[in-house]
Structure 1
């Protein structure tokens, strides 16, 4: 089937979409060599530079692969989802399970590696969380996530930090929705403050296992009633 000329803007996105349709529709099966840039540019009604950028986008999606001196070949019939895309499609419960693994270990590392600046940042984040207790659920969740991000930062592991940053948007949406549905903060606007204070204390004292246990206690059953003063549950996370 003919490709058909694209509209003026945005040319690269439109060209990439047209080429993607040809690949996913089976017009160019896996292993097929694509027509040259000049041919594609003529069929699409765009310049060669636009085609080149469109092919780069398809290569980034795992659909095509350029081979030096041979041309561009179809590598897959369906795009390969990147990590952010997969996270956006993930269930919040799945993200939460990963968060458990990341944050428990991060709390342990934070207690071992924290600096005076880290402790100051944790205490400031705790106060920020408390100040947000009078705000709406979205603002409170933002302050709560900022607190946990400070713990991650204190772990001084860039890979853990990147993981937390990647799944934070999905987590944020899920937490706001859960707070809205459960009305958890109606009776306790600053829910789980004791646990967060205990976490700051454990990190500041360098007690790695205590810090890990506080986080584990929070995240295992975030909507359960508090179980004790050392690590009560009930965190909105």
Structure 2
């Protein structure tokens, strides 16, 4: 099946999609050596740098692998499942176990590293969570996650921040789906407020041990409620 020339913009994404279709469609079976960059560039109507970036993206998806001096070979017929997809499929209990590992340590680090700017952000986030208590479920979940995100941000560790960002969509979906927030707020309008206030206070006070303990208690209690 010949490769048609691409339309302008965005060329790398188009090239990646076209080459992926050739692989997943069986035109280039596993083990096949792909045509050289020059050939692919000519068939796609793009520059070699565009082809190179597309091949890099395919390698990241586990579809191809470059062999020194031999070329680029197809290594899989389907792209490897990404981290966001795995999180969406994971059981909420499994996600929360990892979340606790991440956020408890983040809270400890935040207590030792928070700045005045972080303190202001934490206070605003706590106030936002309280204000969202009478709103719709998604608004309350978003406010809750925003507070936890502010704690993670105060740890000033970009890797932790990135990990939390990856977790956030799966957490939001699970919380909205599994937790009857409306019923909880009718019974207890300040649901979880004391625990969140304790977490924020510990971080602001610079109490490392208390911050870690508060984060752990909050997440354990939330998990218990989710799994009832």
Decide: shared fold, TM above 0.5: yes
User: RMSD across aligned C-alpha pairs, in angstroms?
Assistant: 3.0
Match of 2:205 in 1: 205
Q: Which has the higher contact order (CA 8 A, sep 6+)?
A: 2
Number of paired residues?
219
Q: Distance in 2 between matches of 1:47 and 1:166?
A: 36
Q: Distance in 2 between matches of 1:151 and 1:28?
A: 48
Report the 3-state secondary structure (helix = DSSP H, G, I; strand = E; otherwise coil) of the residue aligned with 1:183.
helix
Q: How much has 1:80 moved relative to structure 2?
A: 2.7
Q: How much has 1:107 moved relative to structure 2?
A: 1.1
Match of 1:227 in 2: none
Shift in CA distance, 222/38, structure 1 to aligned 2, threshold 3 Å: same
Q: How much has 1:148 moved relative to structure 2?
A: 0.7
Q: Distance in 2 between matches of 1:14 and 1:157?
A: 34
TM-score by length of 1: 0.77
Higher helix proportion = 2
TM-score by length of 2: 0.80
Q: Distance in 2 between matches of 1:7 and 1:87?
A: 37
User: Does the 8 Å contact 1:185/1:191 carry over to 2?
Assistant: yes
User: Does the 8 Å contact 1:37/1:48 carry over to 2?
Assistant: no
Match of 1:47 in 2: 45
Q: How much has 1:55 moved relative to structure 2?
A: 3.3
Q: Distance in 2 between matches of 1:107 and 1:41?
A: 50
User: Does the 8 Å contact 2:108/2:209 carry over to 1?
Assistant: yes
Specify every segment of 5 or more residues in structure 2 that has no aligned partner in the other structure, as ranges.
Answer: 8-12
User: Does the 8 Å contact 1:179/1:185 carry over to 2?
Assistant: no
Q: Distance in 2 between matches of 1:220 and 1:203?
A: 18
- Structure 1 window deviating more from structure 2 (72-81 vs 206-215): it is 72-81
